[in-house]
Amino acid sequence: MPNKKISLKPIAQKSPVKKKPAVIEKYAGPTDGKVRCAWCLSDPIYVKYHDEEWGNPVHDDKVLFEFLVLESFQAGLSWLTILKKRENFHKAFAGFDVKKVSKYDEQKYEALMQDAGIIRNQLKIRAAINNAQRFLEIQKEFGSFSNYVWSFAEKTKAGQPKPIHNSRKSLREVPPKTAVSDAMSKDMGKRGFKFRGSTICYAFMQAVGIINDHIDDCWRKKN
């Protein structure tokens, strides 16, 4: 009995369902009506940092060490990149315990170089460890790191340090460095600090409130 011929009809192929690309809504900025420095308006992380930290006078050595580390890692990058990794830096650098960081050895350095949560730059990591050691030397000489860095601030009539309040109409008027940051950078260089150029020092001084560079119309400046 001959085999039946089987008619092979092509199976209709279903067109693949095209996925619509995810729509990423651009942050429109804060909606509370407050006037802020223009640099912080692009991201809610920036806004929170601007409103709660930037320009606040800091005298706590632990916080000062944190900003010293973060500002050195920021060199060549955006500050937003650092803020997004801030918690990772906190874990990697022992909660910014300067004594612990000062004792980081080669094994710890290698571990940090494998930590994808931070900026894996060998010079910056080694600088952070070196700067922790120099930080301790400053504390021993001046009583605290705060006493040292605030010596670059303005002084009251009684000789007490006070923030340098600048008048800025817009972000364009804020310089990348000044004679004050030049002086701090030069002195820190003599003391063996790394990644402490004048621009980094100026950003550090802004962050910890030694310099107040909020624009004149900013609600933080007025408060």
Copy the structure tokens of residue 89. Answer: 């830096």
Backbone angles phi, psi at 145, to 5 degrees: -70, -30
pLDDT in tens, 130-171: 999 999 999 999 999 999 999 999 999 999 999 999 999 999
Q: How far apart are CA 212 and CA 77, in angstroms?
A: 22
**What class does CATH assign to 38-86+143-222?**
mainly alpha
Q: What residues in the chain have per-residue pLDDT under 50? A: 1
Phi then psi for 61, rounded to 5 degrees?
Answer: -60, -35
The residues carrying an active-site annotation are 49, 71, 79
Q: What is the pTM of this model?
A: 0.87
